[in-house]
Amino acid sequence: MNIEKYLEDINSCRFCFMCRHLSATAQATGSEAYTPRGCALIADSIRMDKKALDNADFIQTIFRADLSGACRKNCNGQYDANKRLVDEIGLKVALRQDIVAAGKAPAEVVALAGKMKKMSVKVAGKGSVLYYEQGCVQATAPEVIKAFQKAVKDAATITGPDGLALHVMSYEKDALAQRKAFVDAVKASGAKTLVVSTPAAYWWLKPVVKSAKVVLSSEYLLGLKPKKGKTVKAAFIESDFLNKYPETRSDAPRKLFAALGYALEDFGTTEEESYTCGEGSVVTGFLYPELAAKMAARVAHLAEKFGVKTLAVASPYTKAVLAKALPGVKVVTPEEAFAR
Amino acid sequence: MLPNQDSYDFEMLRSELSWIVGDDNCRTDASEILAHSIDYYWVPECWHDRGQKLPGPDFVVSPANAQEVSKVLQFANTYHLPVTPWGGGSGSQGGALPVYGGIALDTKRMNKVLNVDPISMTATAETGINMQHFEWELNKHGFSSMHFPASIGCATFGGFIAHRGTGVLSTKYGKMEDMVMSMEVVLPTGEIINTLPVPRHASGPDLTQLFCGSEGTLGVVTKATIKIHPIPEARKFRAFLFKDMHDAMMAGAKLMTNRLRPCAIRLYDNAETARLIKNVLGIDRKGSYLVFGFDGYEKIVDLQMEEAVKICKETAIEDLGAGNGESWWKIRYKFFYPAYMFHMPQSFGTLDTVADFSHIENVYWGMKNAVAKNFPEATFIGHFSHWYDWGCMLYARFIIENPPKDPREAVAQYNRIWDVAIHEAIQNGACINEHHGIGLKLGRMMKELYGPAYSVLEGIKKTLDPNNIMNPGKMGFKGM
Ligand SMILES: Cc1cc2nc3c(=O)[nH]c(=O)nc-3n(C[C@H](O)[C@H](O)[C@H](O)COP(=O)(O)OP(=O)(O)OC[C@H]3O[C@@H](n4cnc5c(N)ncnc54)[C@H](O)[C@@H]3O)c2cc1C
Ligand code: SF4
């Protein structure tokens, strides 16, 4: 089983409560099971008795639990360089892989994975800049794409799956095959810069796309020397991938907002928490909209409490979920801020 | 015993509970049951580790407010179902374990800060709020609870009230029972009551203090008001090394009896200095490490620090300086992350207790010698934190590297150590516990500690909880 590779993580997390206050799904639902401790206990039960893989409740929990990285970041921050870092996300993904391999994935996951597997990559236009017009953004926050294309009129576009959705759902072979097809298409396009709007795609593609420089849309737009507008006071929600995931830390969205005249204050009570409503799990909004809505309700409660009128977010995913939950609040992405 | 999940009666109970709290908030799924079967008590951890089936709740019920709690308790009285409050489950005494099944009443949906009063410097919150979230929200207003337990992110506000919990700065700011001004409680029979609005009065005995430390046996605390504090201008630390624990203890006691007001003092015995201070802080010395700090206006901090340093220099063998004190403060929670904590298959327990300065060293040696004599396989280490004008807390720990493989034997050995060590503590003038509570683990010793006075507690329990539904079998009270 894949989880056998994560034995140390199981042993670390299964009786540990230290990061429970950062588990986004646990906070939103009040559930113990979604915390790294809860998930590790499930993994451990399955490790000790494979029959537990038949437990539909365990399976649902593992697919619903967030991959925000907030827990891991808090935990790893405590460790000396000589200590092994705990990878609670790796453990959850490994367990999802075991579930998929055993043919026990939940029906909604099977259905979405089936749909994703049928998609293919397409490139339109030619040029040194290739903009990734992601299907999920097109479906949930098309205004973000429009805003980018208004600002950068001559970029070629690439559409189709990059494999990340399949990765988080743990169809690993298919995920890697899709990513390879995507990488090949970027290469074939001859583009020198690949611009992505979602921090998730940035995290997933940056290490493997070698033919072009992968940049966040905010990074790219910063290079266009944005003009400072009127000062707008806004609360800022950082992306999990740019803050909690160590491989792709970036403050480009924050810098772009600042360059455009936004006076940002971190949203909520601390930057340790994840307020992204499931961004780390990439497809939570599609698979479990009621869970994303619960996470959004928590953000809405804090927004109301602290009188937030404008919310600047780093990720289109977060914008899509929050725009629904916060009708009285203006939610704006870097692309839209630039276009305005 | 409840009917099994596939029965009409079970579904009927579930329906009724769902009507009270909503479908989403009455959970019976295996994930939630598993997570509520193991708290921070070593015994369920050991049983899980060894593949034993664990007793768990039948329902995990998460009410939104006192009214819903009240309805759940009325329902439980009708059907004589046990109700065990569960906050963060981080208690180490098995207090939150629903050992008789029934309802685990998870408080975490009651998680709002209701009021911050900058004039009286108090804040009111629902008790299911995670303590770190409460603190962060206070910080946003420019204040602090000054409650900094190592489990600040693990536990709820209500859990700390239920256990009379304590934080690193308790020496100045007090334990949770010193912080609480008043509270709202849902009694076992469902009545919602409020204790008096202020903690100091001459209007009869203090009900607030009755519910502090009641561990869910006398009702559910749903709301409470605590004192809050401004963020201090300065907080400074200093560390010293002493030849042995006695010299360090005398110096620490002198800081307190000279009526300086340190926010923290911590003294590690030679064994902990050699093990933990070396591992975590990288200070590799023979002797006892003492660290203390002051906070408040910088001028006053400096003045107090000067006096404290004078006291320590009388007997210390090395002034480890401010840097080695500050670094302890910075990494104060690190000790509790898995890489630095004890773990399975080790058997371990925290034997925290409290006594006055005249007795505390005897308590330490009594416990240490008794453990060494009866359990040569155990290591005994300890530190002293949470200092009072009159004494301090001993945070002793035992560790057994290779306990018996059989879970029942391992638990029997574990229970014997507790009996021997705590009996010794009581004999030498200490209490069963200082801030972790009694729970399931230490209930059997309550009669020895209280003597005839225990019947007063039993009488209160009987009056408030005639059907014995609230957390039965804990704090030495009758099981189901
Ligand atoms: C890593 C770690 C470090 C720790 N460090 C400290 C420390 O520094 N200081 C300290 O004091 N403790 C510490 N503890 C112990 C633990 O955090 C405390 O005992 C805390 O008070 C438990 O709170 P909880 O919300 O987790 O309660 P739980 O474990 O869920 O419950 C504890 C008891 O309180 C009852 N209860 C819970 N909520 C309510 C309520 N609202 N009304 C009535 N009864 C209720 C339960 O029934 C149970 O009997 C530590 C624990 C861990 C895991
Ligand atoms: S991720 Fe780290 S802090 Fe969180 S439960 Fe696991 S070991 Fe504990």
Q: Is B114 on the interface with A (CB under 8 A)?
A: no
Same domain, A253 and A206: no
Query: Domain end: A222, A250, A266, which one?
Result: A222
Query: Taking CB atoms and an 8 Å cutoff, what residues of chain B touch A269?
Result: 133, 136-137, 139-140
B113-117: strand order across its sheet: B113-117, B122-126, B220-227, B180-186, B192-194
- For residue A12, give the ligand 2 atom closest to its CA: 7
From atom 5 of ligand 2, which residue's Cα is the shortest distance away? A13
A112 located within any domain = no
Report the separation in Å between the CA atom of A88 and the middle of ligand 2, taken as the mean of its atom positions: 7
Q: What's the pLDDT score for residue B126?
A: 98
Give yes or no for residue A213 having a pLDDT over 70. Answer: yes
d(CA B14, CA A153) in angstroms, rounded, equals: 59
Report the separation in Å between the CA atom of B154 and the middle of ligand 2, taken as the mean of its atom positions: 11
Query: Domain end: B164, B199, B230, which one?
Result: B230
CATH number for the domain including B393? 3.30.300.330
Q: What's the pLDDT score for residue B1?
A: 59
Question: Of B35, B86, B153, which is closest to A18 when you measure between CB atoms?
Answer: B153
pTM: 0.96
Q: Structurally, how many domains does chain B consist of?
A: 4
pLDDT in tens, B118-138: 999 999 999 999 999 999 999
Chain A interface, mutation test: which of B60, B61, B280, B337, most A Cβ atoms within 10 Å? Answer: B337
- For residue B215, give the ligand 1 atom closest to its CA: 49
What pairing do the DSSP bridges indicate for beta strands B180-186 and B234-242? unpaired
Q: What's the pLDDT score for residue A92?
A: 97
Q: What's the pLDDT score for residue B351?
A: 94
Contact B140 A269 (CB under 8 A): yes
Query: Within 10 A of A157 (CB to CB), how many other CB atoms are there?
Result: 18
B249 located within any domain = yes
Residue pointed to by tokens 């189901």 = B480
Task: Identify the CA nearest to B343 among candidates B51, B40, B90.
Answer: B40
CATH number for the domain including B46? 3.30.43.10
Query: Domain end: B230, B254, B284, which one?
Result: B230
B164 — alpha (psi -120 to 50), left (phi > 0) or beta? left
Query: Taking CB atoms and an 8 Å cutoff, what residues of chain B touch A13?
Result: 338
Query: Taking CB atoms and an 8 Å cutoff, what residues of chain A touch B336?
Result: 18
Q: What's the pLDDT score for residue B112?
A: 95
Q: Structurally, how many domains does chain A consist of?
A: 3
From atom 1 of ligand 2, which residue's Cα is the shortest distance away? A72
B1 located within any domain = no
Query: Domain end: A60, A75, A105, which one?
Result: A105
A110 located within any domain = no
Q: What's the pLDDT score for residue B288?
A: 96
Same domain, B59 and B152: no
A73 located within any domain = yes
Distance between first and last Cα of chain B: 10
Residue B345 in contact with residue B49, Cβ under 8 Å?
Answer: yes
- For residue B436, give the ligand 1 atom closest to its CA: 19
In terms of residue numbers, what domain contains A213?
Answer: 117-222
In terms of residue numbers, what domain contains B248?
Answer: 234-336
B342 located within any domain = no
Q: Which run of H or of E encompasses A158?
A: strand A156-159
B387 located within any domain = yes
CA atoms within 13 A on the CB side of A168: 24
Residue A275 in contact with residue A307, Cβ under 8 Å?
Answer: no
Residue pointed to by tokens 């909520």 = A268
B449 located within any domain = no
Query: Taking CB atoms and an 8 Å cutoff, what residues of chain B touch A45?
Result: 34
Q: What's the pLDDT score for residue B275?
A: 86
Question: Of B34, B86, B108, which is closest to A42 when you measure between CB atoms?
Answer: B34
- In single-letter form, the type of residue at position B117 comes to D
Same domain, A121 and A206: yes
Report the separation in Å between the CA atom of B337 and the middle of ligand 2, taken as the mean of its atom positions: 7
CATH number for the domain including A335? 3.40.50
From atom 2 of ligand 2, which residue's Cα is the shortest distance away? A75
Most informative mutation of B83, B93, B151 for ligand 1 (most atoms within 8 A of CB): B151
Mean of the per-residue pLDDT values of chain A: 95
B462 located within any domain = no
B464 located within any domain = no
Same domain, A124 and A217: yes
Same domain, B256 and B150: no
Q: Is B68 on the interface with A (CB under 8 A)?
A: no
Same domain, B137 and B159: yes
d(CA A309, CA A330) in angstroms, rounded, equals: 6
Query: Domain end: B230, B252, B287, which one?
Result: B230
B219 — alpha (psi -120 to 50), left (phi > 0) or beta? left
B478 located within any domain = no
- For residue A36, give the ligand 2 atom closest to its CA: 5
Residues of chain B below pLDDT 50: none
Report the separation in Å between the CA atom of A328 and the middle of ligand 1, taken as the mean of its atom positions: 38
Q: Which run of H or of E encompasses B176?
A: helix B176-179
Residue A6 in contact with residue B40, Cβ under 8 Å?
Answer: no
